[in-house]
Amino acid sequence: MESIIQEFHDAEIGKVLSNEPLANHTTMKIGGPADILIEPKNITSLKKALEIIKRNNLKWRAIGRGSNLLVSDKGIEGVVIKLGDGMDHLTIEENTITVGGGYSLIKLTTILSKKGLSGLEFAGGIPGSIGGAVYMNAGAHGADISKILNRAFILFEDGTMEWLSNEEMEFSYRTSILQSKRPGICLEAELVLKTGVRDDIVRQLQKNKDYRRETQPWNYPCAGSIFRNPLPNFAGQLIESSGLKGYQIGGAKISDQHANFIVNAGNATAQDVLNLIEFVKEKIKEKHNIDLETEVEIVGRK
């Protein structure tokens, strides 16, 4: 790996780290090391990095701000590309914005609300990146990214890049085409918002932030909702009605505040979380005859 790390340095792609603990890069504060972690300084640098990756036949995957992500205790083989500084550009032209995949969702909602642009208030308090939000079709309060996305610039597994329209993204509940049919990551998104009354937009955004703070355990390391809602049911209600709030395996605990959150209550391992996920699935199947599916993305060495 030393020669490959040197290649990345020589190409001046940005930050390059070896055997970097991914617990430092996830909101759950869990995860073993990446063989190599790089943080490209722009899209051109990312293209150079991918050329090196392909030339050396390395495995790779991308992450954003590490929310909605559970990384194996054994880490991730190959190269982890972190979309962060350098991939967080923002351009606002009237009601159309173009934003880098590494841009903070919380920061973006605040900026847009102050400019009187409406459509992203639902994301108030969601601690992810734009790229991750597009990938997962993030949503809350009856709205989601699919309602405002015009097109997205996607990096595919083979290293090619392409703009996809809203229709081509094939959005549905917490999913997009990027998760299965055409695996890829969002490098840039073009969003179309509506002009509204600034004070009303700011007020609604704050209301959504307050609701999230009051009902979800963001004072603990966590990854957001663990399970998809098996509509018309809600995962949190099913888990709570089964008496599982507060149930703990190792350092992983079902939140006392919201039952669809598993928190790192102290030195939790990924295996603790996986064991707790399986325990919850078994109990919900037994009590409600419903098969829960995870919303959190589980990645890394088995």
Q: For residue range 235-274, list pLDDT tens digits in order.
A: 999 999 999 999 999 999 999 999 999 999 999 999 999 9
Q: What is the pTM of this model?
A: 0.87
Q: Which residues are catalytic?
A: 174, 225, 295
The mean pLDDT value for 157-167 works out to 91
Contact yes or no for 72/273 (Cβ under 8 A): no
The mean pLDDT value for 161-165 works out to 96
The pLDDT assigned to 277 comes to 98
Place of tokens 């809350």: 140
* Res. 181: pLDDT tops 90: no
Rounded Cα distance, 28 and 22, in Å: 10
Please write the tens of the pLDDT for every residue from 91-148.
999 999 999 999 999 999 999 999 999 999 999 888 889 999 999 999 888 899 999 9
Largest CA distance in the chain: 58
The mean pLDDT value for 5-33 works out to 96
Categorize the per-residue pLDDT at 185 as very low, low, confident or very high, splitting at 50, 70 and 90.
Answer: confident
Rounded Cα distance, 181 and 176, in Å: 9
Q: How far is CA 246 from CA 28, 29, 71, 82, 260, in A?
A: 17, 19, 23, 33, 11
The pLDDT assigned to 279 comes to 98
The pLDDT assigned to 173 comes to 87
Q: Please write down the HEC assignment for all residues of the chain.
A: CHHHHHHHHHCCCEEEEEEEEHHHHCCCCCCCEEEEEEEECCHHHHHHHHHHHHHCCCCEEEECCCCCEEECCCCEEEEEEECCCCCCCEEEECCEEEEECCCEHHHHHHHHHHCCEECCHHHCCCCCEHHHHHHHCCEECCEEHHHCEEEEEEEECCCCEEEEECHHHCCECCECHHHCCCCEEEEEEEEECEECCHHHHHHHHHHHHHHHHHHCCCCCCECCCCECCCCCCCHHHHHHHCCCCCCEECCEEECCCCCCCEEECCCCCHHHHHHHHHHHHHHHHHHHCCCCCECCEEECCC
What domains can you pick out in the chain, each with its CATH number?
2-82 (3.30.43.10), 90-215 (3.30.465.10), 235-299 (3.90.78.10)
The pLDDT assigned to 278 comes to 98
* Res. 57: pLDDT tops 90: yes
Which residues make beta-bridge pairs with 151? 165, 190
Rounded Cα distance, 263 and 256, in Å: 10
The pLDDT assigned to 103 comes to 94
Length of the chain: 302
The pLDDT assigned to 204 comes to 93
Q: What is the mean pLDDT of the chain?
A: 93
